[in-house]
């Protein structure tokens, strides 16, 4: 009788090499909100081109200093982890870098910049993260209509729910570019070049 394999005790997510190269080349501070979002949307499109994840990217920025704290893309297919959405990875990397689970502690003011509206899971992660703001390009309804992803039971009053918890919401910045990235994913999907990784279809 063979001995059972030990239960896993840890897990991790690695950013793809191409993303690490992109991040290494970017300035440490990005004051312009439009420039931030354009970079995030660019990464969302490249994620599909590189085949490392879905058409989503995110960034955490310190609004007091404009310092970029973390950058991430969706790495669900490459990591084998359903939780490895761009938002959850970006928030986790920011918390790891700062050594705190609360991105709003002691007067900190961090914004999550994301190429698409957070799904049900990422909405919860955003609330728990302590971030003080979120900047969203494409809305969830467009994500579902274009790509076929199931964004989960996001409440109709999600914006009000966030604002009630002290999280400022901005939407529509670079929306056209974000929608183009989503359509690029859809085209690749229809051609069989990528996968729709919903757990339930």
Tell me how far apart the 2 most distant CA atoms of the chain are, in Å.
62
> Coil, strand or helix: which one is 29?
strand
Q: Phi/psi class of residue 18: alpha, beta or left (left: φ > 0; alpha: ψ in -120 to 50)?
A: alpha
> Coil, strand or helix: which one is 49?
helix
- Exposed, middle or buried by CB within 10 Å (0-12, 13-18, 19+), for 143? buried
**Alpha helices for 60-139 (secondary structure H):** 76-79, 86-98, 120-129
- Known catalytic residues? 87
The number of helices, as runs of H, and strands, as runs of E, in the chain is 8, 5
Taking CA atoms, 89 is separated from 65, 112, 148, in Å, by 22, 11, 22
Retrieve residue 35's tokens.
Answer: 């420039």
- Cα separation, 103 vs 178, in Å, equals 26
């Amino acid at each position: 009788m063979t001995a059972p394999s030990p239960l896993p005790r840890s897990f991790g997510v690695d950013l793809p090499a191409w993303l690490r190269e992109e991040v290494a080349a970017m300035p440490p501070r990005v004051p312009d909100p439009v420039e931030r979002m354009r970079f995030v949307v660019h990464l969302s499109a490249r994620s599909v081109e590189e085949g490392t994840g879905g058409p989503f990217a995110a960034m955490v920025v310190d609004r007091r200093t404009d310092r970029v704290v973390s950058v991430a893309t969706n790495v669900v297919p490459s990591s084998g982890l359903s939780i490895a959405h761009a938002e959850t990875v970006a928030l986790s990397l920011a918390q790891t870098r700062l050594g705190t689970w609360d991105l709003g502690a002691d007067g900190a003011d961090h914004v999550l910049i994301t190429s698409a509206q957070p799904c049900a899971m990422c909405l919860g992660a955003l609330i728990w993260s302590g971030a003080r703001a979120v900047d969203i390009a494409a809305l969830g309804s467009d994500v579902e209509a274009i790509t076929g992803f199931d964004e989960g039971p996001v409440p109709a009053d999600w914006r009000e729910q966030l604002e009630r918890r002290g999280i400022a919401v901005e939407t529509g910045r670079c929306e056209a570019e974000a929608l183009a990235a989503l359509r690029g994913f859809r085209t690749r999907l229809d051609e069989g070049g990528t996968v729709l990784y919903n757990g339930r279809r």
